[in-house]
Amino acid sequence: MSTTRRRRPALIALAAVGALGCLALAWWQWTRFESASGTFQNLGYALQWPLFAGFVVYAYYKFVRYEEAPPEPKRQDEITEIPVGLLPERPSAADRPDDDDPVLSEYNAYLADLAREDKERPTT
């Protein structure tokens, strides 16, 4: 017998306590909403807590199903590819000749001189 099956009553109790706790909080928020100081935020919580209780029950159900028949492990040697057209295309650089802008050419020459001086400078 697996250790999980031996712990099944404890897991059932935990799921029941979690679900009942969520339903109790829903009831408490509903009474807060109906009180004189209640707001629509309390109503939202009162509607939200039963969903949490349902999730606790669903999580326990999935746990039991995975225990009975675990999912097949993914193959590590299988290559997965992203389908074409799923991701947006990368923008391409604009095709502009550098000779059109004399200021840009002068700045690039200045940067080239700085790079050459940096290479000639001894490192410490």
pLDDT per position as a tens digit, 74-121: 777 777 788 888 888 888 877 666 567 888 889 999 999 999 999 888
Assign 3-class secondary structure to 17-70.
HHHHHHHHHHHHHHHHHHCCCCCHHHHHHHHHHHHHHHHHHHHHHHHHHHHHCC
Task: Please tell me whether the overall predicted TM-score, pTM, comes out greater than 0.75 for this model.
Answer: no
**pLDDT per position as a tens digit, 59-73:** 999 998 888 888 788
3-state secondary structure of 117: helix
Amino acid occupying residue 100: D
Tokens 């074409």 belong to residue = 84
